Amino acid sequence: MASPPLLASSALLLLLLAAAAAPNAAVTKDVRYQTLVATPLSPHPYSAPAAVAEDDDVFLGSLAADEGDAASTVDLRVVHRDDFAVNATAVELLAQRLRRDRRRASRISAAVGGRGAAATNGTRGRNRGGGGFVAPVVSGLAQGSGEYFTKIGVGTPATPALMVLDTGSDVVWLQCAPCRRCYDQSGKMFDPRGSRSYGAVDCAAPLCRRLDSGGCDLRRKACLYQVAYGDGSVTAGDFATETLTFAGGARVARVALGCGHDNEGLFVAAAGLLGLGRGSLSFPTQISRRFGRSFSYCLVDRTSSTNPTSRSSTVTFGSRAVGPSVAASFTPMVKNPRMETFYYVQLIGISVGGARVPGVAESDLRLNPSTGRGGVIVDSGTSVTRLARPAYSALRDAFRAAAAGLRLSPGGFSLFDTCYDLSGLKVVKVPTVSMHFAGGAQAALPPENYLIPVDSRGTFCFAFAGTDGGVSIIGNIQQQGFRVVFDGDGQRVGFVPKGC
């Protein structure tokens, strides 16, 4: 017969073994997974669709729109800047994209952190000739070249112009002839002398005063603008009004824009920029009387297919952007009194494998309205989502634990510190990731939105990063496949899964 101490020891040992086994069993059982098709990047040079740069019908005539001046909705086709690449591999394009991304995120952080506040609100610019003037410097973000382009018609008769779409900028501008200094662009340069609808803005006009310090050519009494970007790119010229034409023939008169006669820097292909921010000179604000202040876009997965049609993203302005057929999950916009351009939302948590991550604290992601720091913005021009460092570290650790069955790749890649070797695998089960917002909205991310290929060997990286820069950013990789709705009239942002 066993002695009581021996029985007690045996029972204790069994309890300890059970306790040690229980957590692992629970994780295996309770973690939610979804299937990732593990397609590496192609090692071959990228071949852009031949029609993208030159065929105006790809943009202006291929999508349905209400006809004529009475249109209430406009749809535009959108392409990524990689569609203009020549003889570059997917790996090279990704590396370039991540370098641009790092600069843009740094510039956003500088702007909201105070170092860029003066440039954003308008400062005195250098004299560029004429009768002498003081021009405002409205800070753009990292690179003027942007990530997503669309084509519109400018003037009467309309000159097709390829424009960057940017939710992080307000001023609309394009290159204009005659040009003192201009970069190479796709298509014909707009010449205001040939347009019947072009109108100069007087220095004393309210439109000019919206540029804060309101530059003026004293000889012509013409309002002047200047936009400087964080990478050193700059555009300057006359501030004017002009008619813009969209798909299906919809026309909008008297849109205030910069007509740039002096442009230099790292712009690629585009004729100019269509600012989609929240400021008073942004395109959505200017067209609000007719279309409302709402728009939506859907960005397709850049690696999903080699079919040019399936790569087409779209942007919609007007009633259909937020109509009853749009089954979006909405969260209220948050206002930053120190930075009116950006679209702030309140991210309150993130789930991995179906469970909320305790370390992703709402307090680390909340905007401080007194300082303008903190908070979370939704941005079309930033690729990778960046979270405040404590929140990111908690998210990364939770994902690593839930993905313990995947083979970690030694080291990282660029700004990614968590990568996996999926070589030889065609289908992989990965933990789910969902973002939770104030008001009950959520975005359950497809697997390709957070585990992306970075080479042709089968290395995939967790496409989030940490930041100490004072603002968190939801980037366009995480937005892929969603129709993202910016309801300016209702002051809310919505996410429609599989909305493309």
Q: Residue 101: pLDDT above 50?
A: yes
Work out the average pLDDT over 462-474. 93
CB atoms within 10 A of CB 269: 21
Q: Which residue has the tokens 């519109």?
A: 152
Residue pair 216/134 in contact by the 8 Å Cβ criterion = yes
Element (H, E) at 344: strand 344-345
pLDDT tens-place string over residues 116-146: 333 333 322 333 333 221 112 222 233 345 6
What's the pTM?
0.82
- Please tell me the predicted confidence (pLDDT) of residue 45: 74
Which residue would you say has higher pLDDT here, 291 or 351? 351
Phi, psi dihedrals of residue 133, rounded to the nearest 5°? -160, 165
- Confidence (pLDDT) at 303: 56
The per-residue pLDDT for 135 is: 18
pLDDT score of 438: 96
pLDDT confidence bin for 311, thresholds 50/70/90: low
- Active site annotation includes 468: no
Q: Provide the token pair at 62.
A: 């291929």
More confident call, 114 vs 232: 232
| Greatest mean pLDDT range, 28-42, 300-314, 370-384 | 370-384
Confidence of residue 453 (pLDDT cuts 50, 70, 90): very high
| Phi then psi dihedrals of residue 255, to 5 deg | -85, 125
Is the pLDDT assigned to residue 389 strictly greater than 90? yes
pLDDT at 402 over 90: yes
Q: Give me the DSSP letters along 35-87.
A: EEE--PPPSSBP---THHHH-THHHHTSS----STT-SEEEEEEEEGGGG--S
What is the chain's mean pLDDT, rounded? 80
Out of 75, 83, 217, 379, which one is annotated catalytic?
379
More confident residue, 497 or 127: 497
Q: In percent, how much of the chain has pLDDT > 70? A: 77
338: DSSP letter: T
Q: Give mean pLDDT, residues 391-399.
A: 97
Mean pLDDT of 59-79: 56
- Residue 243 clears pLDDT 70, i.e. is over it: yes
pLDDT-derived band at 104 (thresholds 50, 70, 90) equals confident
Quick one: pLDDT at residue 411? 82
147-184 pLDDT, tens digit per residue, is 788 889 999 999 999 888 889 889 999 999 999 998 88
**Catalytic (active site) residue 421:** no
Q: Which of 66, 83, 166, 217 is catalytic?
A: 166
State the alpha helices, DSSP H only, in 73-222.
Answer: 90-113, 117-121, 206-209
- For residue 129, count CB atoms less than 10 angstroms from its CB and return exposed for 0-12, middle for 13-18, buried for 19 or more: exposed
With 50 as the cut, is the pLDDT of residue 28 above it?
A: no
Q: pLDDT value at position 324?
A: 64
Look at residue 214 and tell me whether its pLDDT is greater than 70.
no
Name the pLDDT band for 25 (thresholds 50, 70, 90).
very low
Mean pLDDT of 391-406: 97
Q: Is the pLDDT of residue 302 over 90?
A: no
- What pLDDT score does 232 carry? 66
Q: Between the CA of residue 486 and those of 30, 318, 352, what are the distances in Å? A: 35, 11, 26
Give the pLDDT confidence of 186-199 residue by residue, as tens digits: 889 999 999 999 99
For the cut 50, the answer to whether the pLDDT of residue 493 exceeds it is yes
Residue percentage of the chain with pLDDT more than 90: 49
Mean pLDDT value of segment 44-56 = 54
Given a cut of 60, whether residue 66 has pLDDT beyond it is: no
The pLDDT score that the predictor gives to residue 147 is 76
359 Cβ neighbours under 8 A, 6+ residues apart: 390, 391, 393, 394, 395, 397, 398
Identify the residue with better confidence: 345 or 16: 345
